[in-house]
Structure 1
């Protein structure tokens, strides 16, 4: 794992202000790590494949390591190499196993179905925070598909729980309410090729983050499955998966604070490796830049690789933004809009109450405590800009809130970001990279 700046292991981190940057305006290039969403999906599909898969440029972070550990407990192998991680298929096993979830939503949601494919009795548990995150609709759907899942004494439908494997699942048709998390649907679709009959999911309620569903379907096709979607019904037939080599894209959601930096502080930041075509929801940031008066354009680096160049002047208009499809960007976007020239409204993100923390309540509380005027609505936030002042920005063990605190610090000296190490969930080297962007490396 990347070596973190000592500041990231302290109880708080003083987020640097942009006025310290060399020459005033920002002018730098940054490389963000691989996508967490793609990395963990690739690991799952590789474990379900018939042969070894080399996953190139994967994210190396707390959540990604928890996924590899979970797959190892279920019988898959993983070997770290200079060119990536080589994942070998799940193998049958007997006896008990334990999957440690931490606070990793993808691990908690993607691995129970895999446990049902084997012969092991697998115990699942994690941090206190994961016990509060929604899981019941997924576990209920797996039970309907034949999985033997026993509650473990906590809240019904939440960790801890146990999956007793009986050698596979028949699959079939199931109704699923995925309104609390698109990962419920992705979890069923990723495992479906290994079900005897595949799976047909009929969606009930709204589905947040359609781009993540598109990502799952695209990756299934890359590994050899043939998923089909018709309106609110998704079918994945049984298939033999195989893919020798898969390269993970940079995490565009993790790039959000670096995209925000020139819009908030003025100048130019280039993000290396930004793909021209992608299913990642974070690609929406290019549209946001234009809507907020900045410029986002592709250019070629000296070595021929792609860069996304983002330029801004530090002047932001107030906006009404529906972030239903890109909810994970809300913390950084909300921090940006605290510096707008008028009120803003973020909508469509009620599901954020069930993420690492209740992100809407956390943002309203913390931004208001620093002098802002931020109120919750049923499905979002209303942000009325006001002068911000120094103070502690509590992060609730949420990596995206650390990134939001960093954005606030660009314009407000003395922002003390609590528990910066929690950003290791998706970007262990974030503190180092942020200081480098501001010319403080």
Structure 2
């Protein structure tokens, strides 16, 4: 009897028998979808989101906004026969703003965007909004948002924890104004305040006072999306004061937005080309984007591949040899698990730095990667702000995911080159990448 027949939650990661050659259509970006939902909900007129991501995190966001009174209608065009198909083509969500209200209880799951972006929205509601979620959500920091909202005029009950569960007592408006926060543990603290700021009576001035701010591309994404719906934003990137963002009070416009493919979720498929010496094409890869996943073009090329970006998409080709890399991932930390998996299969050591904040993500990703790769025979050492990876011959075994979608895809990458790897709870990939197991096996022609 096999282990996976005893433990149905174990998924045998497919082992590649040769070089992959596939076209993989990646669903829409979670980061863009959830920001777009918040902005559309706060707009002065209805808007459209086309090709949105349908995943646990985005459906939690949509359900939370609906609970507070926002209308979100899901439609499918005649060209798409299945709602929420793997590429989302033909699907659109019509978002109809309405007066926000409580009392209501919101389930955030373990979605950082939901637990951090929605408390400022709840402060604009008329009535109490209670936030709860998965057990891990209680361990993830929210103090940056909670403390800032109190300074800006909100009343919040969290029993002094600085984390979930908590209740925001909305009174229909929020004063806003200047606030200083330490967002070194999550750039989402800054984005959370900026997204709702146009609806604050005085707008907002957010000043980051802590150490290095991680994941700056996500803040740039927030700023670009705010401007696209008519907000006035002063930021460091355009000559503003360093570490200070100012958003003026204004009405937001309803827009018709097509969601980009999620480039971070393209990572395992590009990694498959690198690991197997094959070729993978991702259609509709944007020529210009604020998504952190776009950095994969440079990172994976440095690790031994090559890429061609055209108006039709990105084609990545592996050379058959994987090089180690010394790279600062501070701006693109979410890519760390997949890069670590590839590095464990390389011909030379790698050092991944700038990602101490990953200890506060869906799980402690640095500790989890170290433990799981080492239990397959690897040699990974945790550093103060990252990982040092010395390649070793790996063997099969169980790769635990800790309910973290990027751990599941990292283990799947290793399984391409190492027979006998079984992924515990691969279903956790539904957080941001629905149908990942089916997409993975289709890529391999299984």
What TM-score, normalized to structure 2? 0.93
Who is 2:27 aligned against? 33
The 5 Å alignment of 1:256-271 reads 256-271=267-282
Report which structure shows greater RCO (CA 8 Å, sep ≥6): 1
Who is 1:183 aligned against? 188
Pick the aligned partner of 1:113 from 111, 120, 123: 120
Offset of residue 115 of structure 1: 0.7
C-alpha distance 399-339 of structure 1, shift in aligned 2 (>3 A): same
In 1: Cα distance, 2:173 partner to 2:182 partner: 23
In 2: Cα distance, 1:288 partner to 1:90 partner: 44
Offset of residue 325 of structure 1: 0.5
In 2: Cα distance, 1:413 partner to 1:92 partner: 52
Pick the aligned partner of 2:11 from 6, 10, 13: 13
CA contact (8 A) 2:229 2:255 kept: no
In 2: Cα distance, 1:325 partner to 1:90 partner: 36
In 2: Cα distance, 1:344 partner to 1:25 partner: 24
Pick the aligned partner of 2:350 from 344, 348, 359: 344
Who is 1:56 aligned against? 50
CA contact (8 A) 2:276 2:417 kept: yes
Pick the aligned partner of 1:75 from 69, 72, 77: 69
Pick the aligned partner of 1:128 from 127, 135, 141: 135
After superposition, the C-alpha distances for 1:348-374 in whole angstroms (9 at most, x for unaligned) are 000000000000000000000000000
Who is 2:318 aligned against? 312
CA contact (8 A) 2:394 2:418 kept: yes
In 2: Cα distance, 1:168 partner to 1:88 partner: 19
Who is 1:232 aligned against? 243
Who is 1:303 aligned against? none
Offset of residue 322 of structure 1: 0.6
* Root-mean-square deviation over aligned CA pairs: 1.4
In 1: Cα distance, 2:329 partner to 2:67 partner: 36
In 2: Cα distance, 1:435 partner to 1:90 partner: 43
Structure 1 stretches of 4+ with a deviation exceeding 3 A read none
Who is 1:103 aligned against? 110
In 2: Cα distance, 1:344 partner to 1:167 partner: 51
In 2: Cα distance, 1:263 partner to 1:123 partner: 45
CA contact (8 A) 1:118 1:167 kept: yes
Who is 1:436 aligned against? 442
In 1: Cα distance, 2:289 partner to 2:201 partner: 31
The 5 Å alignment of 1:35-434 reads 35-82=29-76, 83-93=91-101, 95-151=102-158, 153=159, 156-205=161-210, 206-229=212-235, 230=240, 231-299=242-310, 306-434=312-440
CA contact (8 A) 2:281 2:316 kept: yes
SS in 1 for 2:245: strand
In 2: Cα distance, 1:69 partner to 1:224 partner: 25
Task: Tell me whether 361-370 or 224-233 shows the greater mean CA deviation.
Answer: 224-233
Offset of residue 105 of structure 1: 0.7
Ranges in structure 2 where 5+ consecutive residues have no aligned partner: 77-90
Ranges in structure 1 where 5+ consecutive residues have no aligned partner: 1-6, 301-305
CA contact (8 A) 1:353 1:360 kept: yes
CA contact (8 A) 2:70 2:100 kept: no
SS in 2 for 1:439: coil
Offset of residue 293 of structure 1: 2.3
CA contact (8 A) 1:10 1:420 kept: no
In 2: Cα distance, 1:167 partner to 1:276 partner: 41
CA contact (8 A) 2:287 2:310 kept: no
In 1: Cα distance, 2:60 partner to 2:98 partner: 16
CA contact (8 A) 2:49 2:256 kept: yes
In 1: Cα distance, 2:333 partner to 2:8 partner: 29
In 1: Cα distance, 2:98 partner to 2:196 partner: 12
After superposition, the C-alpha distances for 1:112-139 in whole angstroms (9 at most, x for unaligned) are 0111112111111101000001111111
After superposition, the C-alpha distances for 1:38-72 in whole angstroms (9 at most, x for unaligned) are 00000000000011111000000000000011111
CA contact (8 A) 1:370 1:388 kept: yes
What TM-score, normalized to structure 1? 0.94
